[in-house]
Amino acid sequence: MKARITMLVGGALALAAMPAAAETPLERGTYLMQGPAACGNCHTPITPQGLPIEGQELSGRLVEDNEFFTAYAPNITPDTETGIGGWTDEQIITAIREGKRPDGSIIGPPMPMGLYRGISDSDAKAIVAYLRSVPPVKNEVPKSTYRIPLPPAYGPPVGEVADVTPGVTAEYGAYLAGPVAHCIECHTPMGERGPDFENRLGAGGFEFHGPWGVSVTSNLTPHEDGLAGRSDEDIAKMITTGTRPDGTPMLPPMGYNYYANMSPEDVKAIIAYLRTLPPQPTPQ
């Protein structure tokens, strides 16, 4: 018996010493797309309550109609006629990170191009792996129309973007809340050239119009108008359930049903980053 116990313990130690199986691009892409990246929050048709319609994942919908533009999120399923089934991996990554379609045309807002340029090479490839895996849906989506000029480009070619080391750190939280989930895009007041990241980072006050009515983004800074009085547990609950500490529900378009799939560690990393923002009052 003693020998058997020794063998079992030795075997357990050997297993513990073995490296964990590497996460595949599809596994990482599935986590990102069904969690923090939440691309379906714009690209999947929704009910009046803001919930995704089953069987239509990523097949496109009207996202925003205002004085500046009427924006439709395109069909990004592998359908070859109405989706991106005929695009190469490189063309998809260029569209995501540089806002340029294979025909050279520019993708306009609300796609957060300034932040998506920071998506790492490996995460961009993982997202493509997921897009290749979803069922193709034939759905012709109208083209967006803009009543504002679009730039000829959002910057030079992106080139290589290194991974940010995962962990419960403000640095990784900045990556998740910025390039991946673009929280900071929607929660920053608009300036003359888009979100005023330089002066009002995370101060909230941006309006969204949808079938639910009008929602206004919250202040995410440590100001008394924002998260100063919120515990980490309060903030985590708001992110992942859309429920305030007093039990009242929050409105779309924030993708609570996606963020509910985030790992506790990633939620903590985002909160750690939000705690580092300069305190800002909510715009009046």
Mean residue pLDDT of the chain comes to 90
> What's the whole-model pTM score?
0.90
Percentage of the chain beyond pLDDT 90 is 77
Average pLDDT over every residue of 252-257: 89
User: To which H or E segment does residue 194 belong?
Assistant: strand 194-195
Say how far apart CA 111 and CA 76 lie, in whole Å: 13
Q: Please tell me the predicted confidence (pLDDT) of residue 3.
A: 38
CB 52 within 8 A of CB 44: yes
pLDDT in tens, 144-185: 999 999 999 999 999 999 999 999 999 999 999 999 999 999
Kindly report the CATH class assigned to 164-284. mainly alpha
Average pLDDT over every residue of 98-115: 96
Average pLDDT over every residue of 129-155: 96
Q: Please tell me the predicted confidence (pLDDT) of residue 143.
A: 96
Q: Is the pLDDT higher at 253 or at 87? A: 87
> So where are the chain's domains?
24-161, 164-284
Q: Please tell me the predicted confidence (pLDDT) of residue 190.
A: 84
pLDDT band at 16 (very low <50, low <70, confident <90, very high): very low
Say how far apart CA 184 and CA 115 lie, in whole Å: 9
Is 227's pLDDT higher than 90?
Answer: yes
Q: Is the pLDDT higher at 222 or at 192? A: 222
pLDDT in tens, 200-220: 999 999 888 877 788 899 999
Q: Which of 74, 88, 94 is nearest to 155 (CA)?
A: 94
CB 25 within 8 A of CB 129: yes
CB 230 within 8 A of CB 223: no
- The stretches of 46-203 forming alpha helices (DSSP H) are 89-98, 113-116, 121-133, 170-175, 183-186, 197-200
